[in-house]
Chain A
């Protein structure tokens, strides 16, 4: 109970500080380009009462969550294998590290051509960008596992399967979850970009459409909606990490 009150207070404090800074900026800019925060909040609350806003919100959430799940379920096991099997790493690492610095976002037109204008291309784009981060972080995390933990299980007669179950998987989970948690920001940023093209649904579309129409209050409703979604995804990833890796969050550790 105390924890959840602290959690809400923490967020309320951040919102308050941002609100004050926003207000100061809005006043200094005359309140036209940047609307007053109370006006934007009013428009946001009003938008939340409409079906259209939630359609945009859930379409965006569906794209982001599906992409994150796909990225996790492909990149995490691959990172685990690359980090633990030298032969696989020797084979795949050059591909990964040569393509890692390429800005994958520029491939969006190719994805749209290959996968069509629907959700598939957008989800694939987000998953690809996020997947790289999870893959590299997990692979590096596995490589940093101290050999004593392998020896510990092997000395008890443990097989490769036992090492996977007792060492690799639990030791790699925090790395994978950290990448996923930090990746939520990237996922939402990419989401905004991919929703600017070939769609009429999603918060990204809502923002760009309102911007084009110079409807800044609706635009800010979309921005606040996207921020809300980003914060929710971050906290969900955070909660999953805390549940799956309890040992990382021991009191006084």
Chain B
């Protein structure tokens, strides 16, 4: 279980994150929505262990998160793929860092890529791939280490609408198989409704939670076409109009 307890962060005198508390159970997902530049990314950096919290604490299964750990996979905003490494080497990177033998890590990376529909592209470089393919590779890299928590920072923001919907489905499919909890940061309300079992609305800077919504339709592939989705979106819109 992930616990965020009263997290806060200051850069110099500017408070970017204030009083963020929530819990995330196994098999749950949390979509965090907030205006651009409010401090959502900082929240993920703290949860990943890349940035130290100024106040409060984050814990994964009761262990404080103070440095990056293989238990947590983080998909950065523009994927974070290394342009000088091939697709297979990018996916296997987390395993390499963990000291997994070459043969095993390449096999696991290849299997993970195949699961996400990327076949025969092992020796290509990220620049050879489309945005959607790059995102699949980033998801493969995040899942291949079998993490206990996933963090996704606006993972589909730079993709066209159709590719975005396709990849949202892919992410949900993988999640259904693995049941790895994830925290997703997005500024798209629709994306939050598709991918968040719970949706936390943040205020503008300093980012602080103003409301949390349950999403009973979560996991339904055709959620976009449901009345419940439409109502939830309306409610979210009303909330954000007051605070953003």
User: What total count of A-B pairs have CB within 8 Å?
Assistant: 65
**Dominant secondary structure at the A interface:** helix
**A153 B127 Cβ-Cβ under 8 A:** no
Known: A159-B97, A171-B84. 15 other contacts (CB 8 A): A148-B76, A148-B78, A149-B80, A151-B76, A155-B74, A156-B68, A157-B69, A157-B70, A157-B97, A166-B82, A166-B85, A167-B82, A170-B84, A247-B125, A250-B128
Interface residues on A, range: 20 to 34
Asked whether any CB of chain A lies closer than 8 Å to the CB of B88, the reply is no
Question: Which residues of chain A are near B85, meaning CB under 8 Å?
Answer: 166, 170, 247
**Minimum distance in angstroms from A159 CB to a CB of chain B:** 8
Of A149, A152, A166, A253, most buried by chain B (CB within 10 Å of CB) is A152
Q: Which residue of B lies closest to A170 (CB)?
A: B84
Docked-complex contact B68 and A157, CB < 8 angstroms: yes
Give the CA-CA distance A152 to B73 in the complex, in Å: 10
Interface pair B125/A155, CB less than 8 Å apart: no
Q: Tell me if A156 and B84 are in contact (CB < 8 A).
A: no
Interface string of A234-253 (1 = CB under 8 A from B): 00000000000111001001
Taken together as a complex, chains A and B put the C-alpha atoms of A253 and B85 apart, in Å, by: 15
Q: B50 within 8 Å of A by Cβ? A: yes
Interface residues of B in 73-103 (CB under 8 A from A): 73-74, 76-78, 80-85, 93-94, 96-98
Q: Does B42 contact A (CB under 8 A)?
A: no
CB distance from B66 to the nearest CB of A (A): 13
B50 touches A154 (CB 8 A): yes
Task: Give, as a whole number of angstroms, the nearest-CB distance from A76 to chain B.
Answer: 16
Is B48 in the interface zone, CB < 8 Å from A?
yes
A155 to B65, CA, bound (A): 12
Instruction: Name the residue among A151, A155, A157 with the largest chain B CB count within 10 angstroms.
Output: A155
